[in-house]
């Protein structure tokens, strides 16, 4: 490799492919990355401290602003943690449990849709972007029907959900799930089977199983590196143990596998939603919980399998109406720490694609 003078380049925070308010300082030797330094904090929201000045119910809408591509799943993680703290996790009505699963998997479809579409766009495949966002838009319209908002629905409640979902919504959701397998076939034909995409991503930025474990990878990025883990199966929460689904695991750990595995997981989410619609019983959607939530003195940690990995809430209660301390385990914050090592030795044009493949959202990183 021809030796040239090193160049320091700021990638972001205004560059559109750095996911908004993230900056990475790259040290380049020609077009090759010698070093990368993360700079975060531009979007710092202080949500953990805000939680301590809000009642338990008042904080639910704030969770939508963490990973703003996974609002319903964020809410689910938080309310499950509070219910565990209160000791009422076994009192949640059956129908509410099914509705929660439907919402979480629908949100997973919407979140993975962004990853698939933005990955295609970052590789200059704008057609793939439009295909993915066509289907994501249908998912967001369904989420809008759930909570009256496409990104911040505020639907989960401590003890259940805000309201029941009618037959019209369930029929529309069923039709959406029937249409999706053909859409996934389009993704795989247009993108995964595309020679240019394969050339740009196969063998690029390989994360071994050992490296993934060292950095604490979870979710799709861990499974793309051969780590067979999924909290929905391994530590079932809610009623996930009632559903039949596979956990896709790939072995190469490269940029291509991190892309493909999300399409595979979307197929499994469709299966879960269809089972939930079929098996969901009639009945109430809220348990009898106090209007003013005052958990007993103690602390709890609860985590779920969010679209991007393990999302956990650690809540400390002093017996009052507000948490004494709230700490959020953010999967994208953990995985972003590996980006400098993942980018070393690659081309500068690969850096954007590598970042897209780990699927970060700064609202969660700068929580």
* Distance (Å, whole) CA 354 – CA 149: 31
To 10 degrees, what angle do helices 255-279 and 167-187 make?
Answer: 150
Tokens linked to 246: 């596979």
Cα 250 off chain centre by: 19
Tokens 């509070």, residue? 82
* Distance (Å, whole) CA 102 – CA 274: 9
Phi, psi of 9 (to 5 degrees): -130, 130
Cα→Cα distances 228→43, 63, 69, 246, Å? 33, 28, 24, 11
Tokens linked to 4: 């040239």
Check: CB of residue 151 under 8 Å from CB of residue 64.
Answer: yes
Does the pTM exceed 0.85? yes
Phi, psi of 342 (to 5 degrees): -65, -30
122's CB contacts (< 8 A; 6+ apart) are 17, 352, 353, 356
Q: How many of the other CB atoms lie within 10 Å of CB of 51?
A: 23
Q: pLDDT per position in the chain (367 positions), as tens?
A: 566 788 898 887 766 556 668 888 999 988 899 999 999 888 888 899 999 999 999 999 999 998 888 999 999 999 999 999 999 999 999 999 999 999 999 999 999 999 998 888 888 777 778 888 899 999 999 999 998 889 899 999 999 999 999 999 999 999 999 999 999 998 888 888 888 888 888 989 999 999 999 999 999 999 999 999 999 999 999 999 999 999 999 999 999 999 999 999 999 999 999 999 999 999 999 999 998 999 999 999 999 999 999 999 999 999 999 999 999 999 999 999 999 999 999 998 888 899 889 988 888 888 8
* Distance (Å, whole) CA 51 – CA 363: 15
H or E segment at 326?
strand 325-329
Radius of gyration of the chain (CA): 21
DSSP class of 347: B
* Predicted local confidence at residue 363, as pLDDT: 86
Q: Edge-to-edge strands of the sheet including 325-329?
A: 298-306, 309-317, 325-329
Tokens linked to 53: 């000045």
* Predicted local confidence at residue 217, as pLDDT: 94
Domains and CATH numbers, the chain: 6-44+91-293+342-365 (1.10.645.10)
**Burial grade of 239 (CB within 10 A; 0-12, 13-18, 19 or more):** middle
Q: What share of the chain is helix, strand, coil (3-state, %, to 5)?
A: 50, 15, 35
H or E segment at 147?
helix 126-147
User: What is the distance between the terminal CA atoms of the chain, rounded to a whole angstrom?
Assistant: 41
* Predicted local confidence at residue 17, as pLDDT: 56
């Amino acid at each position: 490799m021809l030796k040239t003078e090193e160049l320091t380049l700021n990638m972001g925070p205004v560059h559109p492919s750095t996911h908004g308010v993230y900056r990475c300082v790259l040290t380049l030797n020609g077009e090759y990355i010698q070093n990368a330094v993360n700079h975060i904090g531009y979007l710092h929201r202080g949500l953990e401290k805000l939680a301590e000045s809000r009642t338990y119910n008042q904080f639910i809408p704030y969770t939508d602003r963490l990973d703003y591509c996974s609002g319903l799943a964020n809410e689910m993680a938080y309310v499950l943690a509070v219910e565990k703290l209160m000791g009422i996790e076994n009192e949640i009505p059956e129908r509410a449990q099914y509705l929660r699963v439907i919402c979480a998997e629908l949100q997973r479809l919407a979140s993975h849709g962004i990853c698939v579409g933005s990955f295609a766009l970052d590789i200059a495949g704008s057609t793939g972007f439009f295909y993915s966002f066509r289907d994501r838009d249908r998912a967001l319209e369904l989420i809008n029907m759930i909570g009256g908002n496409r990104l911040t629905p505020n639907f989960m409640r401590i003890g259940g959900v805000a309201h029941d979902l009618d037959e019209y919504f369930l029929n529309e959701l069923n039709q959406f799930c029937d249409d999706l397998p053909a859409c996934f076939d389009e993704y795989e034909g247009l993108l995964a089977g595309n020679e240019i995409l394969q050339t740009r991503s196969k063998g690029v930025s390989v994360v071994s199983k050992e490296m993934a474990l060292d950095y604490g990878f979870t979710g799709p990025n861990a499974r793309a590196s051969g780590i067979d883990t999924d909290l929905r199966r391994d530590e079932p929460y809610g009623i996930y143990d009632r559903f039949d689904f596979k956990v896709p695991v790939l072995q190469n750990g490269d940029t291509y596998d991190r892309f493909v595995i999300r399409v595979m997981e979307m197929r499994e989410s469709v299966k879960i939603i269809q089972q939930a619609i079929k098996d969901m019983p009639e009945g109430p959607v809220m348990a009898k919980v106090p209007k003013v939530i005052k958990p007993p003195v103690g602390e709890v940690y609860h985590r779920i399998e969010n679209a991007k990995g393990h999302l956990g809430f650690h809540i400390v209660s002093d017996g009052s109406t507000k948490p004494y301390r709230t700490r959020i385990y953010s999967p994208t914050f953990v995985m972003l720490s590996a980006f400098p090592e993942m980018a070393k030795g690659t081309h500068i044009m690969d850096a954007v694609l590598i970042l897209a493949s780990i699927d970060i959202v700064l609202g969660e990183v700068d929580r």
